[in-house]
């Protein structure tokens, strides 16, 4: 019996999207399939306290040896994929749907003279249109919502006969949930047309009906018929809620393999969904090493050759369609080759719209999660981390082990809001408490090399200051010990806590995001400060080349090198951290006010002034006495505001309000 802790995924590895998860035993057999609105929350419930689980669930998690998941677009998709895979794998711990029970379907009996909408289970009947499947609760809500827009008959044959005999409709006819064809309120032909509209809506033509209702709502508003407009608004909202299209269930005659990729500079995650009979019957995923300078079309071509060329069993299972993210190289030859393997025509194409494009998006999302999970697990492996640090030390010919690595990145938009980030890795793991952000202004913001020189200078100047403070503290401590030993009555102050040193620990290696210019700028900053025991390298993004200071040629690490993976991961983390800070700073800059330069005037008092006078222009024209009438503005602050605007006018600066996105002056 396995311990669930041995295969429990880390919380951060599990996405928060809706999806379907599968527990497998040591032999790879699926023993349980489940769905979740939030995969992270649901899967964590299995591992948080296994002793508190129900007996069957406790047995399942101890019988399993691994868990995997598939991300989908909605809760409804997860429901339908769960149903398909329970029928496909027949897991022994799934009780529901292993027998002849099924999810209910929404069905219209189009073979009858007066078609009827109802909930159906079991075998399909000829002449009946089916939509779904749904959960038992969701299908009732869906049908009830749709009947207000498409009032198709939903009563049984007995109720219909009684209404026809009595000439009075049932309750649904009185509350407008049925068009009452039984008493002639609508002709059988019009009722059939209504049923066809119902089928068309459920079949994927929602936009046409919603657009029609929106037009009617606009007409009602133009004639001031607001009650009818409100009813139409509610109908539109109901239809949009109901029409949650399912991307994992396609038309019943659809046989396709859907491929998607997510790549970085070194690797690509591949995901493929096998759709047979309109349902996802299987899923595969793996990570491949990219060939240098390979393009996405080349990657797709090699992928198809690998999947269908090496897997001899797949020849008899080749589908009619192969859906790919981009058109592969030599698509004509590939099409002919696959057609020969299948013995019939195979269509290779890129879906542009509709259900297949939506399914492609779902497969692509799974590829993104797969690559992220692959990187996370590789980074968390102690053996791999040690190998990466050792490979990097040997490749760079460094005399010291890389216990601490710092990486720097500069971020800006056309030279505005220039910022930089510093991320720290110790023993191959990120140390987020030591991350730092830098704002770069003045001449240092002229270009990336100047900004890099400025940031490295500031960081290591702080380090030298902290180091000097520590030396002084140590000297004082030693002096106090000498006084104590001599019995001297003089006492030094040792009760005041020494402030923590923010930059006390120097790195063994500094990594900068960029090529030789950025590396030389960083090395020059360290040399100017007299620091010669910190090594500098740069990682150029395009070809993943490692540059050393004053070197004419880069160091080329093998593309499978764990050291290169480590550098790439650190560089990407620095880039993410810098981008996040840049966006925050840019967002604040877009809300600049003409009152920002007034000393002592904070955010709340600025808002109070604008609210009191109506605009910045009103504040400018107010006297000191008028300003003191605003909430929180005293005589001294009012005088400072008047002096601020007077100084601007004297200097010929009117400080107009500017839209920081377009650069246009805003009238106040």
Answer yes or no: is pLDDT of 519 > 80: yes
* Rounded-to-integer distance, Cα 339 and Cα 342, Å: 5
Q: Which residue in 197, 173, 196, 193 sits closest to 185, CA to CA?
A: 173
Between 89-93, 442-446, 646-650, the lowest mean confidence (pLDDT) is in 646-650
Q: Which residue in 152, 144, 182, 176 sits closest to 164, CA to CA?
A: 182
Q: Which residue in 195, 111, 182, 206 sits closest to 152, CA to CA?
A: 195
Query: Measured at the alpha carbon of residue 493, what is the angle toward residues 491 and 495, in degrees to the nearest 5?
Result: 125
Mean pLDDT within 294-298: 82
Check residue 448 and give its pLDDT: 87
Query: Which tops the pLDDT comparison, 342 or 653?
Result: 342
- Tell me the range of 115-119, 127-131, 313-317 where mean pLDDT is highest: 115-119
Q: pLDDT by residue (tens digit) across 561-585?
A: 888 888 888 998 898 898 988 888 8
Q: pLDDT by residue (tens digit) across 29-66?
A: 999 999 988 999 999 999 888 778 888 888 999 999 99
Q: pLDDT by residue (tens digit) across 121-142?
A: 777 788 888 876 666 556 777 7
Check residue 20 and give its pLDDT: 93
**For the residues of 608-654, what is the DSSP string, one character each?**
HHHHHHSSHHHHHH--HHHHTTSTT--HHHHHHHHHHHHHHHHTT--
The beta-carbon contacts of 269-274 under 8 Å, at least 24 apart in sequence, are: 269/367, 269/368, 269/370, 269/371, 269/374, 270/303, 270/367, 271/363, 271/364, 271/366, 271/367, 271/370, 272/307, 272/363, 273/248, 273/359, 273/362, 273/363, 274/319
Q: In this structure, how many other beta carbons lie within 10 angstroms of the beta carbon of residue 144?
A: 12
Q: Which helix (H) or strand (E) holds 37?
A: none
Using CA atoms of 184, 185, 189, 193 in order, give the dihedral in degrees to the nearest 10.
Answer: -150
Check residue 487 and give its pLDDT: 56
Mean pLDDT within 587-605: 69
Strand-pair partners of 546: 539, 555
* Rounded-to-integer distance, Cα 526 and Cα 530, Å: 6
Check residue 310 and give its pLDDT: 65
- Which tokens in the block code for residue 283? 């899923």
Query: Which tops the pLDDT comparison, 219 or 471?
Result: 219
Check residue 33 and give its pLDDT: 92
- Which tokens in the block code for residue 409? 């990145």
Check residue 600 and give its pLDDT: 75
Check residue 503 and give its pLDDT: 67
* Rounded-to-integer distance, Cα 109 and Cα 129, Å: 7
Strand-pair partners of 511: 407, 537
Share of the chain above pLDDT 90, in %: 17
Cα-trace Rg, the chain:
34
Answer yes or no: is pLDDT of 500 > 50: yes
**In Å, how far are 381, 468, 474, 475, 643 from 482, measured between CA atoms?**
49, 21, 12, 11, 59
* Rounded-to-integer distance, Cα 187 and Cα 179, Å: 10
Query: Which tops the pLDDT comparison, 97 or 173?
Result: 173
DSSP state of 151: -
Q: Which residue in 402, 421, 585 sits closest to 512, CA to CA?
A: 421
- Asked if residue 470 lies in contact with residue 464, where contact means CB atoms within 8 angstroms, the answer is no
Answer yes or no: is pLDDT of 322 > 90: yes
**For the residues of 584-605, what is the DSSP string, one character each?**
HHHHHHTT--TTTTSTT--HHH
Q: Could you give the 3-state DSSP secondary structure of residue 540? A: strand
The 3-state secondary structure of 204-253 reads CCHHHHHHHHHHHHHHHHHCCCHHHHHHHHHHHHHHHHHCCCCCCECCCC
Answer yes or no: is pLDDT of 344 > 50: yes
* Rounded-to-integer distance, Cα 20 and Cα 11, Å: 16
* Rounded-to-integer distance, Cα 319 and Cα 274, Å: 9
Query: Measured at the alpha carbon of residue 218, what is the angle toward residues 215 and 221, in degrees to the nearest 5?
Result: 155
Check residue 284 and give its pLDDT: 85
Check residue 655 and give its pLDDT: 41
**Band of pLDDT at residue 486, cut at 50, 70 and 90:** low
Answer yes or no: is pLDDT of 225 > 50: yes
- Which tokens in the block code for residue 661? 């996105």
Q: pLDDT by residue (tens digit) across 436-452?
A: 999 888 888 888 899 99
**In Å, how far are 66, 71, 79, 110 from 33, measured between CA atoms?**
12, 14, 11, 35
Q: How far is CA 485 from its chain centroid?
A: 64
Q: Which helix (H) or strand (E) holds 490?
A: none
Answer yes or no: is pLDDT of 385 > 60: yes
Check residue 658 and give its pLDDT: 40
Burial-class residue 661 by CB neighbours within 10 Å (0-12, 13-18, 19+). exposed
Check residue 173 and give its pLDDT: 85
Average pLDDT of the chain is 81
Q: What are phi and psi of 354, to 5 degrees?
A: 85, -165
Answer yes or no: is pLDDT of 108 > 80: yes
- Using the structure block, give the residue that is written with the tokens 């697990």: 377
- Which tokens in the block code for residue 235? 């109908």
Check residue 247 and give its pLDDT: 44
Mean pLDDT within 188-201: 87
Share of the chain above pLDDT 70, in %: 82
- Tell me the range of 202-211, 577-586, 593-602, 658-667 where mean pLDDT is highest: 577-586
- Tell me the range of 32-46, 283-297, 458-472 where mean pLDDT is highest: 32-46
Check residue 628 and give its pLDDT: 86
Check residue 640 and give its pLDDT: 85
Answer yes or no: is pLDDT of 661 > 50: no
**For the residues of 444-462, what is the DSSP string, one character each?**
GGSSHHHHHHHHHHHHHHH
- Tell me the range of 203-207, 286-290, 502-506, 596-600 where mean pLDDT is highest: 286-290
The 3-state secondary structure of 506-529 reads CCCEEEEECCHHHHHHHHHHHHHC
Where do the domains of the chain lie, and which CATH numbers do they carry?
A: 4-89 (3.40.1440.10), 105-204 (no CATH), 256-377 (3.30.420), 384-587 (3.30.420.340), 603-666 (1.10.150.20)
Burial-class residue 1 by CB neighbours within 10 Å (0-12, 13-18, 19+). exposed
**Band of pLDDT at residue 667, cut at 50, 70 and 90:** very low
Q: pLDDT by residue (tens digit) across 173-184?
A: 888 888 888 988
State yes or no: cis peptide before 575, omega within 30 of 0.
Answer: no
Answer yes or no: is pLDDT of 659 > 50: no
- Asked if residue 522 lies in contact with residue 452, where contact means CB atoms within 8 angstroms, the answer is yes
Mean pLDDT within 410-425: 87
b/e per residue 257-283 (b: at least 16 CB within 10 A): bbbbbbbebebbbbbbbbbeebbbbeb
Helix axis angle, 39-47 relative to 55-63, nearest 10°? Answer: 90
* Residues across the chain: 668
Q: pLDDT by residue (tens digit) across 141-166?
A: 778 778 878 888 988 888 888 888 88
- Asked if residue 625 lies in contact with residue 637, where contact means CB atoms within 8 angstroms, the answer is no
């Amino acid at each position: 019996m396995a311990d669930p802790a041995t295969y429990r995924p880390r919380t951060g590895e599990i996405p928060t999207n809706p999806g379907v998860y599968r527990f497998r035993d040591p032999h790879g057999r699926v023993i349980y399939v489940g769905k979740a609105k939030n995969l992270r929350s649901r899967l964590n419930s299995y591992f948080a306290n296994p002793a508190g689980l129900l007996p069957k669930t406790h047995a399942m998690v101890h019988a399993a040896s691994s868990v995997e998941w598939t991300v989908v677009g909605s809760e409804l998709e997860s429901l339908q994929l769960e149903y398909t895979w329970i029928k496909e794998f027949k897991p022994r711990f799934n009780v529901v749907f292993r027998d002849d029970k099924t999810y209910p379907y929404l069905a219209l009996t189009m073979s009858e003279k007066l078609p009827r909408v109802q909930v159906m289970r079991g075998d399909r009947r000829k002449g009946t249109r089916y939509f779904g499947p749904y959960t038992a609760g969701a299908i009732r809500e869906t049908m009830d919502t749709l009947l207000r827009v498409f009032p198709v008959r939903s009563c049984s044959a007995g109720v219909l006969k009684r209404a026809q005999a009595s000439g009075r409709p049932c309750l649904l006819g009185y509350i407008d949930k049925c068009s009452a064809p039984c008493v002639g309120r609508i002709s059988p032909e019009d009722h059939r047309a209504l049923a066809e509209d119902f089928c068309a809506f459920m079949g994927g033509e929602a936009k046409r009906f919603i657009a029609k209702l929106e037009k009617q709502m606009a007409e009602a508003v133009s004639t001031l018929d607001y009650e009818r407009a409100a009813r139409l608004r509610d109908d539109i909202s109901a239809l949009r809620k109901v029409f949650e299209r399912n991307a994992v269930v396609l038309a019943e005659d659809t046989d396709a393999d859907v491929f998607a990729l997510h790549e970085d500079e070194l690797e690509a995650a591949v995901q493929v969904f096998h759709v047979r009979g309109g349902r996802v019957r299987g899923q595969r995923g793996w990570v491949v090493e990219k060939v240098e300078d390979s393009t996405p079309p080349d990657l797709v071509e090699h992928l198809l050759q690998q999947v269908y060329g090496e897997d001899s069993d797949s020849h008899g299972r080749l589908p009619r369609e192969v859906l790919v993210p981009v058109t592969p190289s030599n698509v004509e030859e590939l099409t002919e080759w696959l057609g020969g393997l299948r013995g019939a025509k195979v269509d290779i194409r890129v879906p542009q719209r509709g259900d297949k494009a939506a399914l492609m998006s779902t497969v692509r999302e799974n590829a993104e999660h797969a690559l992220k999970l692959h990187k996370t697990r590789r980074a968390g492996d102690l053996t791999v981390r040690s190998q990466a640090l050792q490979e990097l030390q040997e490749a760079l010919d460094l005399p010291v082990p890389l216990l601490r690595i710092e990486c720097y990145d500069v971020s800006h938009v056309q030279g505005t809001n220039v910022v930089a980030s510093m991320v720290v890795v110790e023993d191959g793991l990120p140390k987020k408490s030591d991350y730092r952000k830098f704002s770069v202004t003045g001449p240092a913001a002229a270009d990336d090399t100047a900004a890099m020189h400025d940031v490295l200078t500031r960081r290591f100047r702080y380090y030298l200051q902290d180091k000097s403070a520590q030396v002084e503290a140590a000297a004082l401590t030693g002096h106090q010990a000498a006084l104590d030993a001599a019995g001297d009555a003089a006492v030094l102050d040792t009760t005041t806590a020494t402030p923590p040193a923010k930059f006390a620990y120097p790195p063994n290696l500094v990594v900068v995001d960029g090529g030789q210019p950025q590396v030389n700028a960083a090395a020059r900053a360290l040399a100017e400060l007299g620091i010669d025991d910190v090594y500098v390298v740069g990682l150029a993004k395009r070809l993943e080349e490692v540059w050393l200071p004053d070197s004419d040629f880069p160091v080329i690490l093998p593309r499978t090198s764990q050291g290169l993976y480590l550098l790439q991961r650190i560089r990407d983390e620095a880039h993410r951290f810098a981008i996040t800070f840049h966006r925050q700073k840019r967002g604040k800059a877009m809300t600049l006010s003409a009152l920002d330069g007034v000393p002592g005037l904070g955010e709340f008092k600025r808002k109070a002034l604008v609210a009191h006078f109506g605009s910045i222009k009103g504040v400018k024209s107010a006297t000191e006495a008028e300003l003191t009438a605003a909430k929180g503005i005293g005589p001294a602050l009012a005088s400072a505001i008047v002096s601020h605007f007077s100084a601007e006018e004297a200097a010929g600066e009117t400080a107009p309000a500017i839209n920081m996105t377009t650069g246009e002056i805003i009238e106040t």
